[in-house]
Homo-oligomer: A and B are copies of this chain.
């Protein structure tokens, strides 16, 4: 079993805001992350796929195809977007990196299984909001 990773990035605006709470409560819990008019980040996403190398290619998965798949199904949905306003799969959800990464999993897991000719599977998603704040998810 080998774990193969591809890094992609996107630039997006968001804010952390719970509509069930008052403005004061949001400020108290989220601080400047709740500022009304959004802020943003250069997000980095690492997609890790595990499997056995195909003897004909030496590849667990073709990283060019994996990159194309990630860009088409995730990056294009979020890049240069407002995560609170523009992204259908985040509608009604808090735009935290935790929630983002779980939605990305739902999108990528079946498509990577389908792309793979070799029973390779999505293993983990790592999402950097900044170089100092990041999350990782293994699908459960």
Contacts and interface: CB of A to CB of B under 8 A. Distances in A.
A39 to B, nearest CB: 4
Interface residues of A, number: 64
Given A96-B59, A98-B4, A137-B2, A12 B40 contact: yes
A31 B133 CA distance: 28
A140 interface: yes
Q: Is the interface of A mostly helix, strand, loop or mixed?
A: mixed
Interface in A1-26: 1-9, 11-14, 16, 18, 20-21
Interface of A: 1-9, 11-14, 16, 18, 20-21, 29-33, 35, 37-42, 48, 53, 56-60, 62-64, 79-82, 85-86, 93-99, 101-102, 130-138, 140
Given A3-B138, A58-B99, A63-B133, 7 more contacts: A4-B98, A4-B134, A7-B132, A7-B133, A13-B13, A18-B57, A35-B81
